[in-house]
Amino acid sequence: MKSKKIIAVVGGSFLLAAAFLLILCIKFVNMKESSPTGKYAGKTEKVEQTTTDKKEQKKPDWVEEKISGMTLEEKVAQLFIITPEALTGMGKVTAAGDTTKRCLEQYPVGGMIYFAGNIEDRQQLSDMLHTTQSYSTEQSGIPIFLSVDEEGGTVARVAGSGISNVSVVEDMCEVTDEERAYEIGQTIGNYLAELGFNLDYAPVGDVLTNPENTVVKKRSFGNDSAKVAALSQKVLDGLHEENVYGVIKHFPGHGATAGDTHEGYAYTDKSLEELEQQELVPFQNAIENHIAIIMAGHISVPNVTGDNTPSSLSKIMITDVLREKMGFDGIVITDALNMGAISQHYSSAEVSVRVIEAGGDMLLMPENFQEAYQGILEAVQNGTLTEERIDESVRRILKVKEKLTAED
């Protein structure tokens, strides 16, 4: 019995000694791992930073991964924003069903645009948009732009349809206060986002320098370029606060034009220097505030380009002026390509190729989607366009869409 007690005491002492040694070892290790001083200061931090850098370098690039896994056909489809009717071939679309799903699998387009005819009520619209988004992401893993013309005032596809709990805001020509402009952007952005939209073709950044212009008269913030720039930016800020992308339009400015591009030829005889002093001011301001998407109008500027080519198809206007001179590297989307200024002079295939050649990225509502889509594919196949050029536009598009995946 006595020997057992001695063994127990010795064993206990041994355990206590072992525990004490373990504590000393831990303290020693902690001292070695703590921030050093003197000539070794900063070494631990540098190692940790290097490790972090290596991890960041190994992190997959979502945009490049997507592009590398896409076929040419899938890339070309990303360049288009079309109506649900153009996608499905149906007369009027108010729901996204099997036909929409099947067509998105065949043509995974970059975006859809909706009008009052697609809207019946709040629940129907929300269901259609959310289902369309789910079809797109399931098929390709890429979000789809769900877009609408919702400027407020006279152009309000959603609010103007009488949808519940949404009222039309005033015409932009009545807005003079920056706080009110922000409220308008936030109000519109809020109800659009709730319904499922993520892109709005607003605000109008046109400076109304031609008093005879009736196209944007009520839609413009006025004839003072600085005021138009400030108010446009506030609308953009309000939209972005609600996670809706705003698209400032119509570069290089519809406010100085004579004529209506919906009907046919529209032009301004201003020089580039004159445009820079007024019409381009809101667009330059938006670029400096990191705008993601700009809409190019079908406005001819012969004293800049030397001919009557619409700006949306002009390499001088899109590449030389907007991209290189003004510093914009985001998405350039055309105004609707079924408008008279385009459809009266170009086939859908021809105009689509010319947009890409000019430096544009996304084609809005070509008169014949199938013809436009095939036109770009054939242009790549015959060498008129390179696949690398298509990749440039797809890269810009996916960089914006990547942020939509983060928001989801």
Task: Tokens for 63, please give them.
Answer: 């945009």
Weakest-pLDDT range from 18-22, 46-50, 112-116, 309-313: 46-50
What pLDDT, on a 0 to 100 scale, did the predictor assign at position 388? 99
Q: Can you tell me the distance from the alpha carbon of 67 to that of 80, in angstroms, rounded to the nearest whole number?
A: 16
User: Considering its fold, how many domains does the chain have in total?
Assistant: 1
Interhelix angle 178-195/122-140, rounded to 10 degrees, is 70
**Is 25 inside a domain boundary?**
no
Lowest-pLDDT range, 4-8, 20-24, 46-50, 222-226?
A: 46-50
Evaluate whether residue 133 is within a structural domain. Answer: yes
The pLDDT value recorded for residue 211 is: 86
Q: Chain centroid to CA 273: how far?
A: 29
State the Cα angle at 186 between 184 and 187, rounded to 5°: 65
How many other C-beta atoms are found inside a 10 Å radius of the C-beta of residue 194? 13
Q: Would 279 be classed as within a structural domain?
A: yes
pLDDT in tens, 328-347: 999 999 999 999 889 999 99
10 part of a folded domain: no
More confident residue, 39 or 257: 257
Of 48-57, 60-69, 86-95, 134-143, which range is least confident? 48-57
Which H or E run includes 296?
strand 293-296
pLDDT at 204: 96
Q: How far apart are CA 305 and CA 313, in angstroms?
A: 11
Peptide bond into 250 cis (omega under 30): yes
pLDDT tier at 261, thresholds 50, 70, 90 = low
Residue 49 lies in a domain: no
Residue 70 lies in a domain: no
3-state class (DSSP) for residue 217: coil
What separation in angstroms does the CA of 193 have from each of 98, 154, 168, 282?
Answer: 24, 21, 16, 25
CATH number at residue 243: 3.20.20.300
Q: What is the pLDDT of residue 59?
A: 58
Average pLDDT over residues 293-309: 97
Residue 256, pLDDT score: 86
Tokens 């220097």 appear where?
Answer: 273
Helices (H) and strands (E) in the chain, counts: 17, 10
Domain residues for the domain of 329 are 80-407
The two three-digit tokens of residue 34, written as one number: 């703590």
Q: Exposed, middle or buried: residue 283 (CB in 10 Å: 0-12, 13-18, 19+)? A: buried
* Residue 34 domain-assigned (yes or no): no
Q: Distance of CA 51 to CAs 40, 44, 47, 56, 61, Å?
A: 18, 11, 6, 9, 18
Q: How far apart are CA 191 and CA 165, in angstroms?
A: 9
Give the separation between CA 249 and CA 232, rounded to whole angstroms: 10
Has residue 33 got a pLDDT over 50? no
Place of tokens 């598009």: 397
| Helices of type H across 118-250 | 122-140, 178-195, 225-241
In a domain, 58, yes or no: no
The residue among 281, 287, 278, 348 whose CA lies nearest residue 313 is: 348
Q: What is the mean pLDDT of the chain?
A: 87
pLDDT band at 5 (very low <50, low <70, confident <90, very high): very low
Average pLDDT over residues 349-363: 99
